[in-house]
DNA sequence: ATGGGGCAGGGTGCATACAATCTCTGCTGC
DNA sequence: GCAGCAGAGATTGTATGCACCCTGCCCCAT
């Protein structure tokens, strides 16, 4: 495959629903490869343990192997893939215990984050958090959680809520720790299996957390968030036990 | 600069004090670049915010830019450096608040880790933890904490203790989260400034934690570890406040 | 039939080439 | 004297080439 791209670069600098806060630049190939692979893995389109062939990914994105390799290094550091010398990368396989531990670690980190948010939020932050909680509730009620788009919308709304907390907590560094650490795979795996009641319960927790932040009660905010995440863990692990082999979200052959 | 290496590869497959448990393979260029850069940054031989020039690093290690770039991607994901498109990487600058937050996050994670260790350790693990605590105490008493080698020895002993806990907690995933997350820079910055009394206090905490694990008391182990880390935070931040501009550990020009 | 050696193809790791971008410097014109 | 700009050199981002590694398969000797 030889460079059929050239124009991709110029088209669409990314005017979509981009947050007005920061990025509007056109993505580097590296970044595109990273996001692509991340999504493929998170949404289950790679098997657990499946090998990631650099040249295939490169072809699929019409780039060379170089940016793909760099993306793989990032994913490796995030823990989404493992690598062996001269044998490339494969999607990480997590045991049930590991999944549980990671959820619990996440619960503590997000609990801490929520405490910070409750301490540091200004009026604008409080507003944003409440809005996000509202938005999540609407989304959950409106979309079909079985469809890919529905799922993605729910996830996006969920991210928005957490992002509002991060912003309120002035904790960008923590955010990196959270997202860049076997965080997403769990989230998606969880939502993939969430029942309507569970989604509903999440929406309720979001509201409660928003309330605790607005009331400047760090401990309660932290406790609620911790419990919220642990609820997610339990739901996810119930499903994991029922169906240990996750099924892909979409067809999307990465062949 | 053109390949003057060739032999580096063959020499010393790494028979040094390598843990018998795993690696004895010769390192890839990528890995070498990663470790080199990581150490340079952690030990303060790059200024905060200083730019990292790929070709310079490549020359210094007698490798091409390719593995260096991959190493930089890893460091970026770990949060040690930041990058901007077409403008390369620079050493991350942390505010005092961010340092404090990260320490606290770390305190919670390591606290959790200690709980796991107290729950899951077998007799062998308990033994290893006690030994490591002992070793740390000896090291602290024996070396000159002002010298680079002394500092490195203290850090190595410290790592050994924490590694023993990780091993006991069956928490390899968590370990990744801990180390790969703006963890090291803080550790070193802390030890760099530690006074003998503070090192002593650390040794004491290690013993207490080891005791709690041996006694199978997860809560106490967790609490002690959390406090241990927070002590470290306070010490580090006291020093930070006295001398906001860290000084390099060694001369070592990375020119 | 079976164990093993070797060979071919697929893939990875690294080096090198090159265009695009950035940055710095010195000059020009106001 | 200084803002601003052009150009050269420095540096990054990506593509491509190549040597080595690894795996699976076929064939041969036992």
Of the pLDDT bands very low, low, confident and very high (cuts 50, 70, 90), residue A243 is low
Phi, psi of B189, rounded to the nearest 5 degrees: -55, -35
Q: Which residue is nearest to nucleotide C23 (CA to C1')?
A: B87
Q: How far apart are CA B255 and CA B249, in angstroms?
A: 16
Please give the pLDDT value at position A151. Answer: 84
| pLDDT 10s digits, B120-147 | 999 999 999 999 999 999 999 998 877 8
Residue, of A12 and B104, whose pLDDT is higher: B104
- Write A72-75 long-range contacts (CB < 8 A, 24+): A72/A37, A73/B30, A73/B70, A73/B71, A73/B73, A73/B74, A73/B77, A74/A34, A74/B73, A74/B74, A74/B76, A74/B77, A75/A34, A75/A37, A75/A38, A75/A41
Please give the pLDDT value at position A175. Answer: 87
- Please answer whether residues B125 and B117 qualify as being in contact, where contact means their C-beta atoms are separated by less than 8 angstroms: yes
- Is residue B16 over pLDDT 80? no
Please give the pLDDT value at position A124. Answer: 97
- Is residue B206 over pLDDT 70? yes
- Is residue A153 over pLDDT 80? yes
* Shortest-distance nucleotide from A65 CA to C1': D15
Q: How far apart are CA B228 and CA B223, in angstroms?
A: 8
- In the three-class reduction of DSSP (H, G, I as helix; E, B as strand; rest coil), residue B81 is classed as strand
CB distance B177–A173 less than 8 Å? no
Pairs of residues, one from chain A and one from chain B, whose beta carbons lie less than 8 Å apart: 91
- What separation in angstroms does the CA of A177 have from each of A41, A78, B66, B253? 19, 9, 26, 31
Q: What is the model's pTM?
A: 0.86
Question: Which residues are in reach of strand C, CB within 7 A?
Answer: A 51-56, 65-66, 69, 83-89; B 2-3, 5, 28-30, 63-67, 70, 85-87
- In the three-class reduction of DSSP (H, G, I as helix; E, B as strand; rest coil), residue A247 is classed as coil
Structure tokens at B54: 């790929």
**Which residues of chain A have a CB within 8 Å of the CB of B104?**
112
Please give the pLDDT value at position A244. Answer: 61
Mean pLDDT computed over B233-238:
87
Of the pLDDT bands very low, low, confident and very high (cuts 50, 70, 90), residue A14 is very low
- Of the candidates A25, A77, A85, the beta carbon closest to that of B85 is on A25
Please give the pLDDT value at position A180. Answer: 72
Cβ-based neighbours of B131, under 8 Å, separated by 6 or more: B164
CB distance A173–B28 less than 8 Å? no
Q: What b/e readout covers B15-38, taking b as 16+ CB neighbours within 10 angstroms?
A: eeeeeeeeeeeebbbbbbbbebbb
Mean pLDDT computed over A117-121:
98
- Is residue B15 over pLDDT 60? no
Please give the pLDDT value at position B147. Answer: 81
Q: Is A6 exposed, middle or buried (0-12, 13-18, 19+ CB in 10 A)?
A: exposed
Please give the pLDDT value at position A184. Answer: 63
CB distance A102–B174 less than 8 Å? yes
Please give the pLDDT value at position B78. Answer: 92
Per cent of chain B over pLDDT 70 is: 84
């Amino acid at each position: 495959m030889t460079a059929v791209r050239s124009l991709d670069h110029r088209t669409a600098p990314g005017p979509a629903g981009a947050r007005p806060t920061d990025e509007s630049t056109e993505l580097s190939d590296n970044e595109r490869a990273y996001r692509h692979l991340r999504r493929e893995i998170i949404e289950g389109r790679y098997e657990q343990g499946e090998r990631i062939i650099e040249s295939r990914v490169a072809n699929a994105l019409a780039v060379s192997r170089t940016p793909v390799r760099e993306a793989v290094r990032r994913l490796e550091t995030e823990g989404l893939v493992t690598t062996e010398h001269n044998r490339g990368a494969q999607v990480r396989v997590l045991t049930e215990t590991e999944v549980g531990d990671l959820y619990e670690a996440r619960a503590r980190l997000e609990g801490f984050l929520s405490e910070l948010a409750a301490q540091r939020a200004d009026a604008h932050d409080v507003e944003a958090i409440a809005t996000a909680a509202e938005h999540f509730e609407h989304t959950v009620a409106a979309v079909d959680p079985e469809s890919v788009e529905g799922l993605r919308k729910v996830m996006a709304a969920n991210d928005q809520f957490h992002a509002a907390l991060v912003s309120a907590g002035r904790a960008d560094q923590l955010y990196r720790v959270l997202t860049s650490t076997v965080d997403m795979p769990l989230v998606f795996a969880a939502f993939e299996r969430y029942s309507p009641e569970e989604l509903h319960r999440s929406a309720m927790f979001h509201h409660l957390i928003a309330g605790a932040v607005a009331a400047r009660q760090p401990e309660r905010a932290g406790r609620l968030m911790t419990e919220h995440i642990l609820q997610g863990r339990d739901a996810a692990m119930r499903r994991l036990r029922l169906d240990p082999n996750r099924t892909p979200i979409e067809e999307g052959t990465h062949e």
